[in-house]
A and B are shown apart, each in its own frame.
Chain A
Amino acid sequence: MNTPAHNSRYDVRTSPLKTPPRKLREQWQDRLHHKLDSAPAANLWLFAGLAMVVLPHFAYQKFAIMVCCSVLLLWRLLYDLKTTALPPRWLRIVLAFAAFAGVGTLHHTIFGRDAGVSLLLIMLCLKLLEMKKQRDFIVAVSLGYFVVITGFLYSQTMLIAVYMFGTIIVLTTALIASNRLASAWNDMANVRLAGSMLVLAIPMAALLFVLFPRLPTPLWGLPDDAFAGKTGLSDQMSPGQISRLSDDDAVAFRVQFNSPLPRPSQLYWRGPVFSHFDGKTWRHDTTIEIPDTIDNTTADTKHSDSGAYGTLNKQDIVGRDTPVAYSVTLEPHNQRWLFALEMPAVLPANGKFNDAFELLSRQPVKKLVHYEMRSYLDYDLQPQRLSNRHVYLQLPSNIGIKAQELILQLITSIANQQDRDEKIVAAILNYFRQQPFFYTKQPPLLRDDPIDEFLFETRQGFCEHYASAFTFLMRAAGIPARVVTGYQGGEFNTLGDYLIVRQSDAHAWSEVWIAGKGWTRVDPTAVIPPEHVQYQEHLQRFRPSVATTTVDLTWLASTWHNIKLSWDNVNHFWNMWVIGYNNKKQNSFMSWLGLEQFGWQGLAIALFSGLSILVMLVAFHLLYRHRQSSDPVQKAYQRFCRKLESIGVRKSHSEGAAHFAQRVIRQQPELSTPVATITRLYNAIRYSDHDATDKHAENELREAVKGFHPQRLLTGYQSGKNNSNNSFK
Chain B
Amino acid sequence: MRFTKSIDKFNLARFFKAQTAEKAPLLLTQRRVYILPTGAGVFFGGLLLVMLMGAINYNNSLGFMLTFLLAGLNVISILYTYRNLLHLQVSTRTIAPVFAGERLLVPVLLDNGGHGARFSVQLYFQGESPVACDVPANSWTQVELPLASKRRGLHVLEQFTLCSTFPLGLFRTWSPVRFDTTYLVYAKPAKQSGLPQEALYQPKQTGDKGRGSDDFAGLRGYHQGDSLRHIHWKTLAKDQGLHTKQFGGDRSDELWLDWRSLEHLDKEARIAQLTRWVIDAEQTGICYGLWTPQTQHAPAHGDAHKHNCLRTLALID
A residues touching B (Cβ–Cβ < 8 Å)?
A: 134-135, 138-139, 142, 145-146, 148-149, 152-153, 156, 160-161, 164, 168, 172, 175-176, 178-181, 193, 197-198, 200-206, 208-209, 212, 214-215, 218-220, 222, 226, 367, 578-582, 615, 618-619, 622-623, 626-627, 645, 648-654, 667
B23 CB to closest chain A CB, in angstroms? 7
Whole-angstrom CA separation of A145 from B132 in the bound complex: 29
B residues touching A (Cβ–Cβ < 8 Å)?
A: 23, 25, 27, 29-30, 39-40, 43-44, 47, 50-51, 53-73, 75-77, 79-80, 82-83, 86-87, 89, 91, 111-115, 119-120, 132-134, 138-140, 165-170
Whole-angstrom CA separation of A180 from B165 in the bound complex: 10
B296 CB to closest chain A CB, in angstroms? 35
Task: With A201-B70, A580-B61, A650-B113 given, name 5 new contacts (CB 8 A).
Answer: A142-B43, A168-B66, A181-B134, A212-B68, A619-B79
Q: List 9 A-B contacts (CB under 8 A).
A: A179-B119, A200-B72, A204-B76, A226-B58, A579-B62, A581-B61, A653-B139, A653-B140, A654-B140
Q: Is the CB of A146 within 8 A of B51?
A: yes
Q: Inside 8 A of B71's CB, which chain A residues have their CB? A: 201, 204-205, 208
Q: Is the CB of A168 within 8 A of B169?
A: no
Q: Is the CB of A622 within 8 A of B80?
A: yes
B202 CB to closest chain A CB, in angstroms? 47
Q: Is the CB of B59 within 8 A of A138?
A: no
Cβ-neighbour of B56 out of A153, A219, A622 (below 8 A): A219
Q: Inside 8 A of B69's CB, which chain A residues have their CB? A: 168, 198, 201-202, 205
Q: Inside 8 A of B80's CB, which chain A residues have their CB? A: 193, 197, 622
Asked if A650 meets B57 with Cβ closer than 8 Å, knowing A197-B73, A197-B76, A202-B72, the reply is no
Q: Is the CB of B111 within 8 A of A649?
A: no
Cβ-neighbour of B83 out of A164, A367, A581, A623 (below 8 A): A623
Q: Is the CB of A200 within 8 A of B53?
A: no
Cβ-neighbour of A176 out of B72, B86, B134, B168 (below 8 A): B168
Q: Is the CB of A209 within 8 A of B76?
A: no
Q: Inside 8 A of A652's CB, which chain B residues have their CB? A: 25, 89, 91, 111, 113, 140
Whole-angstrom CA separation of A197 from B73 in the bound complex: 6
Q: Is the CB of B168 within 8 A of A650?
A: no
Cβ-neighbour of B29 out of A152, A180, A627, A648 (below 8 A): A648
Q: Is the CB of A193 within 8 A of B111?
A: no
Q: Inside 8 A of A193's CB, which chain B residues have their CB? A: 80, 167
Asked if A142 meets B47 with Cβ closer than 8 Å, knowing A201-B72, A222-B58, the reply is yes
Q: Is the CB of B70 within 8 A of A145?
A: yes
Q: Inside 8 A of A202's CB, which chain B residues have their CB? A: 69, 72
A120 CB to closest chain B CB, in angstroms? 12
Asked if A152 meets B63 with Cβ closer than 8 Å, knowing A139-B43, A205-B71, the reply is yes
Query: 6 nearest interchain CB pairs?
Result: A201-B72, A204-B72, A208-B68, A205-B68, A152-B62, A205-B69
Whole-angstrom CA separation of A581 from B64 in the bound complex: 10
Whole-angstrom CA separation of A197 from B51 in the bound complex: 20
Whole-angstrom CA separation of A202 from B91 in the bound complex: 38
Cβ-neighbour of B61 out of A145, A156, A618, A650 (below 8 A): A156
Q: Inside 8 A of A579's CB, which chain B residues have their CB? A: 61-62
B271 CB to closest chain A CB, in angstroms? 37
Q: Is the CB of B58 within 8 A of A142?
A: no
Among B53, B72, B91, chain A packs the most CB atoms within 10 A around the CB of: B72
Q: Is the CB of B60 within 8 A of A156?
A: yes
Cβ-neighbour of B138 out of A201, A212, A219, A653 (below 8 A): A653
Q: Is the CB of B57 within 8 A of A152?
A: no
Q: Is the CB of A205 within 8 A of B59?
A: no
Whole-angstrom CA separation of A204 from B67 in the bound complex: 11
Q: Inside 8 A of B79's CB, which chain A residues have their CB? A: 615, 618-619, 622-623
Q: Is the CB of A138 within 8 A of B40?
A: yes
B224 CB to closest chain A CB, in angstroms? 58
> Taking CB as reference atom, which chain B residue is nearest A197?
B76
Cβ-neighbour of B65 out of A367, A578, A653 (below 8 A): A578
Cβ-neighbour of B167 out of A149, A176, A214 (below 8 A): A176
Whole-angstrom CA separation of A615 from B111 in the bound complex: 27
> Taking CB as reference atom, which chain B residue is nearest A189?
B117
Whole-angstrom CA separation of A579 from B82 in the bound complex: 35
Q: Is the CB of B114 within 8 A of A175?
A: no
Cβ-neighbour of B73 out of A139, A201, A649 (below 8 A): A201
> Taking CB as reference atom, which chain A residue is nearest B27?
A650
Asked if A149 meets B66 with Cβ closer than 8 Å, knowing A197-B73, A367-B59, the reply is yes
Q: Inside 8 A of A200's CB, which chain B residues have their CB? A: 72, 76
Whole-angstrom CA separation of A218 from B64 in the bound complex: 14
Q: Is the CB of A179 within 8 A of B167?
A: yes
Among B30, B47, B86, chain A packs the most CB atoms within 10 A around the CB of: B47
Whole-angstrom CA separation of A350 from B55 in the bound complex: 23
Q: Inside 8 A of A180's CB, which chain B residues have their CB? A: 119-120, 166
Cβ-neighbour of B54 out of A149, A175, A179, A615 (below 8 A): A149
Whole-angstrom CA separation of A289 from B64 in the bound complex: 38
A135 CB to closest chain B CB, in angstroms? 6
Q: Is the CB of A212 within 8 A of B140?
A: no
Q: Is the CB of B75 within 8 A of A181?
A: no
Whole-angstrom CA separation of A48 from B120 in the bound complex: 24
Q: Is the CB of B61 within 8 A of A149?
A: no
Whole-angstrom CA separation of A93 from B133 in the bound complex: 38
Q: Is the CB of A149 within 8 A of B51?
A: yes
Whole-angstrom CA separation of A320 from B77 in the bound complex: 64
Q: Is the CB of B58 within 8 A of A153?
A: yes
Whole-angstrom CA separation of A579 from B61 in the bound complex: 5
Cβ-neighbour of A156 out of B44, B56, B57, B62 (below 8 A): B62
Q: Is the CB of A205 within 8 A of B114?
A: no
A373 CB to closest chain B CB, in angstroms? 23
Q: Inside 8 A of A145's CB, which chain B residues have their CB? A: 47, 51, 66, 70
Cβ-neighbour of A172 out of B62, B83, B168 (below 8 A): B168
Cβ-neighbour of A218 out of B57, B119, B170 (below 8 A): B57
Asked if A164 meets B168 with Cβ closer than 8 Å, knowing A218-B58, A622-B80, the reply is no
Asked if A153 meets B60 with Cβ closer than 8 Å, knowing A178-B169, A197-B76, A209-B68, the reply is yes
Whole-angstrom CA separation of A618 from B77 in the bound complex: 11
